Amino acid sequence: MSADIDIDVLVCGLGPAGASAAAMAAKAGANVLAVERNARPGLPVQCAEFVPMMIGSELFAGDDARVQNIDRMLTFVEDDRADLTPDFRGYMIDRARFDADLVEQARLAGGECRFASPVRTVSPDGAVQLADGTTIRARIVIGADGPHSPVGKAAGLANRELVETRQITVDLLSPHAGTDIFLHPDIVGGYAWLFPKGKVCNLGLGVVAARKQKLKPLLDALHARLVAEGRVGQKIHAHTGGAIPVGGNTGLHAILGETGILLAGDAAGLTNPVTGAGINAAVISGRLAGETAAAIVAGDGEAAQDYVDEIDALFGRSLALALKRRRQLLDLYAQAGTPTAQQMRGGWIAYSQYWQDDDTPAARGLEEARMTA
Ligand SMILES: Cc1cc2nc3c(=O)[nH]c(=O)nc-3n(C[C@H](O)[C@H](O)[C@H](O)COP(=O)(O)OP(=O)(O)OC[C@H]3O[C@@H](n4cnc5c(N)ncnc54)[C@H](O)[C@@H]3O)c2cc1C
């Protein structure tokens, strides 16, 4: 197939992963074109906008994207009083501004960023067709095109497990510096959240895709409860939602024809399967994918494998543990009906049981429940 555009690196998707990839590939000297389906960076926002602080982490985007600091987590298990996790730090961001800042960084580095340019198909020989009929050939295609990644599907590396979400933004009636997490057996394969953003907050939840129809009644009930408690306002300012990959790393590298494929961020399944947090992983993997693409273009035959190894070193253990905890809880639903409060605590990052090895009372409890089911 002849191409309308020949380029070193084509980045599909300009969320945090794609913008970071485009910036790094361009900085390293590659010719970079990035294409995004949406008309504007970061919009519509499909995010609860909390960035947990990682060791040695920075905010990645400009300071103007930071809305407020978070210093603790409160976990509400069913109707129990909240369990406090002090010193659980991070930032609430303005996600639209965060993404726009990253796109600006990509442009400043020399990457061409085109909006309102959806990828329509990715051919088995690696050529990419846009919806306007343009055909693009690239040495490397970076799939940073989110949970339903067309690039990942073409490469045989699609996300297989997704959580569906629903979120509203409402007034927050008194200042709060914690992330509130709500665990309940009705919220199957997920949890509900209240994340404060100054005078408003994001209130939402995620569940296994098969329970998608429960999202609205569950969110309405949580909203009504928090209104009755005097914590949030009745008026809904915004609605959003979207899919979150929860099946772990899809595989990061493939070859289609003569085109190398690298996946990053949600397209690569790097979102944490328990918390759903994926912004940090998107930026970090995007940056590495961009550097890797430029290195391959410059003739480094080992770069793709180095990328795979580095992502595994960075995220492999936490993804594997989260996957295990998620499956342990889902097994309970499959076999026994519903998990107990203690079992739900064992599946959430705020509790020591979550971090312990398999041979622990919590794990044995899960095991016993499984055996008596
Ligand atoms: C409701 C919700 C709440 C969340 N809350 C948090 C949170 O609080 N903290 C956190 O860390 N993570 C959160 N996440 C996850 C987080 O949003 C993602 O992990 C993160 O956005 C991943 O970045 P990405 O660049 O890989 O993918 P995305 O941000 O999804 O970007 C992919 C881009 O690709 C574009 N695209 C898709 N298909 C095509 C196509 N065919 N052609 C061209 N472009 C295309 C999309 O338009 C999009 O802009 C949440 C997710 C959801 C749905």
**362 and 222 Cβ atoms separated by less than 8 Å:** no
206-250 confidence digits (pLDDT tens): 999 999 999 999 999 999 999 999 999 999 999 999 999 999 999
Burial class (CB in 10 A: 0-12, 13-18, 19+), 5: middle
Provide the pLDDT for residue 267: 98
How far apart are alpha carbons 115 and 258 in whole angstroms?
26
Structural domain spans, the chain:
5-45+95-160+247-319, 66-90+162-245, 321-372
- What is the whole-number distance in angstroms between the Cα of residue 246 and the centre of ligand 1? 13
Provide the pLDDT for residue 60: 73
Q: Which residue has the higher pLDDT, 109 or 334?
A: 109
- What is the whole-number distance in angstroms between the Cα of residue 131 and the centre of ligand 1? 20
**Two structure tokens written together for 287:** 């940056």
Ligand 1 pocket member 137 (CB < 6 A): no
- What is the whole-number distance in angstroms between the Cα of residue 3 and the centre of ligand 1? 29
Q: Ligand 1: which residue has its CA nearest to atom 26?
A: 265
Residue 67 has pLDDT above 60, yes or no: yes
> Can you say whether residue 126 is alpha, beta or left, with left for phi > 0 and alpha for psi between -120 and 50 degrees?
left
Q: What is the dihedral of CA 317, 321, 322, 325, to 10 degrees?
A: 180
Residue 317 has pLDDT above 60, yes or no: yes
Q: Ligand 1: which residue has its CA nearest to atom 17?
A: 47
Residue 302 has pLDDT above 60, yes or no: yes
Provide the pLDDT for residue 130: 98
Provide the pLDDT for residue 54: 72
Q: Ligand 1: which residue has its CA nearest to atom 21?
A: 279
Atom of ligand 1 nearest to the CA of 265: 26
**189 and 330 Cβ atoms separated by less than 8 Å:** yes
Ligand 1 pocket member 19 (CB < 6 A): no
Q: What is the mean pLDDT of residues 120-132?
A: 97
Residue 62 has pLDDT above 80, yes or no: no
Residue 59 has pLDDT above 80, yes or no: no
Residue 371 has pLDDT above 50, yes or no: no
Q: Which residue has the higher pLDDT, 201 or 53?
A: 201
Atom of ligand 1 nearest to the CA of 147: 30
Name residue, tokens 């927050």.
172
Determine the Cα angle at 292 with ends 288 and 294, to 5°: 120
Categorize the per-residue pLDDT at 336 as very low, low, confident or very high, splitting at 50, 70 and 90: confident
Class of domain 5-45+95-160+247-319 as given by CATH: alpha beta
Residue 3 has pLDDT above 90, yes or no: no
73-108 confidence digits (pLDDT tens): 999 999 899 999 998 999 999 999 999 999 999 999
Atom of ligand 1 nearest to the CA of 35: 43
Ligand 1 pocket member 167 (CB < 6 A): yes
Q: What is the mean pLDDT of residues 320-334?
A: 95
Residue 362 has pLDDT above 60, yes or no: no
132-177 confidence digits (pLDDT tens): 999 999 999 999 999 999 999 999 999 999 999 999 999 999 999 9
Provide the pLDDT for residue 55: 59
Question: Nearest to residue 177, comparing CAs of 141, 201, 157, 153?
Answer: 201
Best of 102, 271, 275, 311 for a ligand 1 pocket test (most atoms within 8 Å of beta carbon) = 271
Categorize the per-residue pLDDT at 56 as very low, low, confident or very high, splitting at 50, 70 and 90: low
Residue 286 has pLDDT above 80, yes or no: yes
Residue 368 has pLDDT above 50, yes or no: no
Q: What is the mean pLDDT of residues 256-262?
A: 97
Ligand 1 pocket member 321 (CB < 6 A): no
**Two structure tokens written together for 44:** 């519509």
Categorize the per-residue pLDDT at 361 as very low, low, confident or very high, splitting at 50, 70 and 90: very low
Class of domain 66-90+162-245 as given by CATH: alpha beta
Residue 202 has pLDDT above 70, yes or no: yes
Q: What is the mean pLDDT of residues 24-37?
A: 98
Q: Which residue has the higher pLDDT, 335 or 127?
A: 127
Q: What is the mean pLDDT of the chain?
A: 93
Residue 369 has pLDDT above 80, yes or no: no
Provide the pLDDT for residue 226: 98
- What is the whole-number distance in angstroms between the Cα of residue 46 and the centre of ligand 1? 7
Q: Output the 3-class SS for the chain.
A: CCCCEEEEEEEECCCHHHHHHHHHHHHCCCCEEEECCCCECCECCCCCCEEECCCCCCCCCCHHHEEEEEEEEEEEECCCCCEEEEEEEEEEECHHHHHHHHHHHHHHCCCEEECCCCEEEECCCCCEEECCCCEEEEEEEEECCCCCCHHHHHCCCCCCCEEEEEEEEEEECCCCCEEEEEECCCCCCCCEEEEEECCEEEEEEEEEHHHHHHHHHHHHHHHHHHHHCCCEEEEEEEEEEEEEECCCCCCCEEEECCEEEEECHHHHCCCCCCCCCCHHHHHHHHHHHHHHHHHHHCCCCCHHHHHHHHHHHHHHHHHHHHHHHHHHHHHHHHHHCCCCHHHHHHCCCCCHHHHCCCCCHHHHHHHHHHHHC
Q: Ligand 1: which residue has its CA nearest to atom 49?
A: 15
Question: Nearest to residue 30, comparing CAs of 310, 308, 284, 291?
Answer: 291
Q: What is the mean pLDDT of residues 25-50?
A: 97
- What is the whole-number distance in angstroms between the Cα of residue 16 and the centre of ligand 1? 8
Provide the pLDDT for residue 87: 87
Asked if omega into 44 is within 30° of 0 (cis), the reply is: yes
Atom of ligand 1 nearest to the CA of 267: 26
Question: Nearest to residue 288, comparing CAs of 307, 308, 302, 303?
Answer: 307
- What is the whole-number distance in angstroms between the Cα of residue 359 and the centre of ligand 1? 36
Characterize the bridge pairing of strands 135-143 and 5-12: parallel
**Residue percentage of the chain with pLDDT more than 70:** 93
Provide the pLDDT for residue 242: 97
- What is the whole-number distance in angstroms between the Cα of residue 336 and the centre of ligand 1? 34
- What is the whole-number distance in angstroms between the Cα of residue 365 and the centre of ligand 1? 36
Beta bridge partners of 69: 91
Categorize the per-residue pLDDT at 370 as very low, low, confident or very high, splitting at 50, 70 and 90: very low
